[in-house]
Structure 1
Amino acid sequence: METLNFLMQGFAVALTPENLMFALLGCFLGTLIGALPGLGPANGVAILIPLAFTLGLKPETALIMLTSVYAGAMYGGRISSILLNIPGDEPAMMTCLDGYPMAQSGRAAEALAISAVASFIGSVIATIGLILLAPWLAKFALTFGPAEYFALFVLAFATLGGITGKNPVKTILAAAIGLMMATVGIDMNTGVQRFTFNTLELYEGVDFIILIVGLFAISELLFFIEAHAGEGRKMIAMNKLKMKWKDFTSVFPTSLRGSVIGFLAGVLPGA
């Protein structure tokens, strides 16, 4: 009951016209920043922190605006994934697999709409779960030790067998390259330098955003150069949104399943 009372107080503050206006502004700016490849939600918030100080906002208003920037940037990363096949941040990488083929087939608007609906459903479920289950989830997360993390990683590698497709060699090679890149830097347990070559920039390892954006962006650039040298490449065109209500409701079961899985994975520290 005390949690619900605090929640009602929070809604009373957040639903004022001033805070709603800054929430809308934050979502708009965050979407613009997130659409730029390589600028994720964290960078978007860092870029706009001076704006909150310059405007002289109240603490709660500034927090609402920056949170809205984070949410908008999370969705903005899907725009470049769907239209350019270049992920804006780490979570948007998986959107490239289905979103970009939909855009190529003339369904870019549907892909963007489905991504927005799924993001909204996931955010609502995660927020409700955090409010109601936070104390129990915190205790559950602390029970995860080395054995549980080892089992989790074994499960992650075991799932590679289900996504190998027709050429398992490519999947194994990609996983091996990912493991090699992950070993660069200082070991968190022993403090030993691994493959840093006495280069200060490699002490913290290879940034995952830089890695995925570089891999996807360079490949798309090479495809563009190849197509430009030949007959040209078909441009991605934005079509009119033709989805019906039943199309949105058909997305709900998948969004619900993904939201629950993502929420449980996000509770685990470091997962």
Structure 2
Amino acid sequence: MDLLSNLALGFGAAFTLQNLFYCFIGCLLGTLIGVLPGLGPVATIAMLLPSIYALDATPALIMLAGIYYGAQYGGSTTAILINVPGESSSVVTAIDGYQMARQGRAGAALSSAALGSFFAGSVATLVLAAFAPPLTEVAFKFGPAEYFSLMVLGLIGSVVLASGSLIKAIAMILLGLLLGQINTDVISGVPRFSFDIAELSDGIDFVVIAMGVFGFGEIIANLSVPSAHREVFTKDVKGLMPTKEDIRMAAPAVLRGTALGSVLGVLPGGGALLASFAAYTLEKKVAKDASRFGKGDIRGVAGPESANNAGAQTSFIPMLTLGIPPNAVMALMVGAMTIKGIQPGPQVMSSNPELFWGLIASMWIGNLMLVILNLPLIGIWIKLLTVPYRFLFPAIMVFCCIGLYTLNNNNFHVYLAALFGLIGYAFYKLGCEPAPLLLGFILGPMMEENLRRALLLSRGDWTAFVTRPLSASLLAAAAAMVIIVLLPNIRRKREEAFQEAD
């Protein structure tokens, strides 16, 4: 009964005109920044932080939250239509979503992403409301050793995720890990591998690599073939909504992705990102015929999109209940709470119940607003497919360059993305999948930080990773995955399943 009375309090707070208005503004802004390549929720929320001084705490946080989970909806649009994942959690969506667009099925991909996101977001919000305290206790058990082991498992999983050669997938992960080392050492404060270039002292921005390798690389690859042989944006659109067969295939993927994302979103360290990769890996595992993945399988869109939206919602749990931000956006949310004079942590639930439960209730309202906003817009996004590619690619490049420039108001990011565009084209010619590179790049610095913290706490004792039960279990799962993938029979089946079509 406590839950019902708390939700009644939350809906009472969320259904005021002011809070409904700011919820809508947040969702609309989130969708727009998700659709526009390069403009992510981190940059947008950072730019909007000064504006919340004039707002009360509840509408301010409702608006910022709407931007975050709204961007998860919009981020799939560019990933599907132009193969530019604006958010790290949309990287996996691009693999099959973009292939569906090439086959004239962009409408089915976009609508399954929107409906899957709505279902996952609604369920994850229920999880947030009902299980915040017990799920927080699970997060308490994760120390540096457990986080390191979890990320090792994530990287091993991405090898399984990648189609084609295992050697190429491992090489891409290692390259991503190496690129992640270009930054300033968190302990000594000394720049590493920056070659005395000031802009590299803070590391390479994720958006630069994503746009360069996926966006610019894809454009170069498309321009390198004659227009008569260019498949992109040339086929007729077959329908804006999924068929019965699509729904039959996507529904179980949505359920699995929602469950996976709800659990992984609680864990600090990129829950939504890990959830989307894990969901894609899971879909490949349970599929009878995995050869369709990477060639336009709707399960490869529905599963990861549901997982990253569920993960985005449940990532509020450690932020609201512990005051621990699991990702950059939640760190900004903690900053927003501090600006409004609220100390993030367990006391928020008791000292500011209207804020806590009002924010949770607003997520249900926001998810409903987003599906109402996004479904009618699918037809508009599909219109992009009718634009001749010779007009479309300069517009894509302009948007990408604007997004890159606004990262730091510096031309350097534009030049760096152009360099990664050439590297992305080289990957395309070599048959290397760039998704593992991005995962290695994102997880690399976090892995290093947690490895060093674990070794500091254990006074250099490496056995700490196997003497802690949870860490040992995660490492055992990673080792089992490696052994299974290397078994001759499994390896042969994998090569047959993921054999790339010419």
Aligned equivalent of 1:258:
257
Q: Which residue is 1:67 aligned to?
A: 65
One-letter identity of the residue aligned with 2:155: F
Counterpart CA distance in 2 for 1:247 and 1:47 is: 40
Deviation at 1:160, TM superposition (A): 4.0
Pick the aligned partner of 2:122 from 117, 121, 124. Answer: 124
- How far, CA to CA, are the matches of 2:11 and 2:248 in structure 1? 28
Aligned to 1:181: 179
Deviates more, 1:214-223 or 1:146-155: 146-155
User: What is the one-letter code of the residue matched to 1:20?
Assistant: L
CA shift in 2, pair 1:73/1:109, >3 Å: same
Question: What amino acid sits opposite 1:37 in the alignment?
Answer: P
Tell me which amino acid in the other structure corresponds to 2:20.
L
In the other structure, the counterpart of 2:31 is 31
- Against the structure 1 CA distance between its residues 17 and 156, is the aligned structure 2 distance closer, same or farther, given a 3 Å change threshold? same
| Residue matched to 1:159 | 157
Closer, same or farther: CA 225–245 of 1 in aligned 2, 3 Å: closer
Alpha-carbon offset, residue 175 of structure 1: 0.9
Residues 51 and 34 from structure 1, CA distance in 2 versus in 1: closer, same or farther, beyond 3 angstroms? farther
Opposite residue 259 of structure 1, the aligned amino acid is T
TM-score of the two chains, using structure 1 as the length reference: 0.85
In structure 2, give the amino acid aligned to 1:118. G
Distance in 1 separating the partners of 2:132 and 2:89: 23
For the residues of structure 1 that align with 2:103 and 2:67, how far apart are their CA atoms? 31
In 2: Cα distance, 1:96 partner to 1:119 partner: 15
Q: Deviations over 1:86-143 (max 9, x none)?
A: 1111111111001011111111111001111121222223222222222222222122
Amino acid at match of 1:133: F
2:218 aligned residue: 220
Equivalent pairs, count = 268
Per the alignment, in what secondary structure is the counterpart of residue 94 of structure 1? helix
Given that 1:52 and 1:62 are in contact with CA atoms closer than 8 Å, whether structure 2 keeps it comes out as yes
With over 3 angstroms needed to count, the CA separation of the structure-2 counterparts of 1:186 and 1:120, relative to structure 1, is same
Shift of 1:174: 0.9
Amino acid at match of 2:165: N
Preserved contact between residue 107 and residue 242 of structure 2 (Cα < 8 Å): no
1:2 positional shift:
4.0
What value does the CA root-mean-square deviation take over the aligned residues?
2.7
Q: Pick closer, same or farther for the CA change 1:165–1:29 going to 2, 3 Å.
A: closer
Opposite residue 34 of structure 1, the aligned amino acid is G
Query: What SS does the aligned partner of 1:117 have?
Result: helix
Residue 16 and residue 238 in structure 1: after superposition, are their counterparts in 2 closer, same or farther (change >3 A)? farther
Higher RCO (Cα < 8 Å, 6 or more apart): 2
Conserved 8 A contact 1:40-1:74: no
In the alignment, is residue 86 of structure 1 matched against residue 79 of structure 2?
A: no
Work out whether residues 36 and 86 of structure 2, in 8 Å CA contact, stay in contact via their aligned partners in 1.
Answer: yes
Q: Please state how far the C-alpha of 1:78 moved relative to its aligned partner.
A: 0.8
Whole-angstrom CA distance in 2 between matches of 1:217 and 1:264: 31
Q: Show the counterpart of 2:42.
A: 42
Question: Is the contact between residue 112 and residue 242 of structure 2 (CA under 8 Å) also seen in structure 1?
Answer: no
Matched-pair contact (CA < 8 Å) for 1:186–1:194 = yes
TM-score where L is the length of structure 2: 0.48
Matched residue SS, 1:269: coil
- SS of structure 1 residue aligned to 2:38: coil
For residues 222-241 of structure 1, the aligned pairs below 5 Å read 222-227=220-225, 230-231=227-228, 233-234=230-231, 236=233, 239-241=238-240
The residue type equivalent to 1:61 in the other structure is P
Contact 1:34–1:40, Cα closer than 8 Å, also in 2: yes
**C-alpha deviation, 1:72, in angstroms:** 2.0
C-alpha contact (below 8 Å) 1:44/1:70 kept by paired residues:
no
SS in 2 for 1:5: helix
Q: Provide the rounded CA distance (Å) in 1 between the counterparts of 2:181 and 2:126.
A: 37
Partners of 1:18 and 1:244 in 2: CA distance: 39
Q: Provide the C-alpha distance between the structure 2 equivalents of 1:164 and 1:215, rounded to a whole number of angstroms.
A: 16
Distance verdict in 2 for CA 1:60–1:87, change over 3 Å: same
State the match for 1:202 in structure 2: 200
Aligned amino acid, residue 8 of structure 2: M
2:217 partner SS? helix
Query: Are the structure 2 counterparts of residues 9 and 246 from structure 1 closer, same or farther at C-alpha, using a change threshold of 3 Å?
Result: farther
| 2:181 maps to amino acid | T
Task: Could you tell me which runs of 5 or more consecutive residues in structure 2 were left unpaired when the two chains were aligned.
Answer: 271-502
From the superposition, tell whether residues 199 and 263 of structure 1 become closer, same or farther in structure 2 (CA, over 3 Å).
Answer: farther
Given candidates 124, 139, 142, the residue that maps to 1:141 is 139
Give 3-state SS (helix, strand or coil) of 2:228's partner.
coil
2:30 is matched by which residue type in structure 1?
Answer: G
Q: Give the distance between the partners of 1:164 and 1:74, measured in 2 at CA.
A: 23
Q: 1:9 to 1:270 in 2, by over 3 A?
A: same
Structure 1 residues 249 and 68, CA gap change in structure 2 (3 angstroms): farther
Cα 1:21–1:182, aligned 2, differ >3 Å: closer, same or farther?
same
1:132 to 1:193, Cα distance in 2 relative to 1, 3 A: same
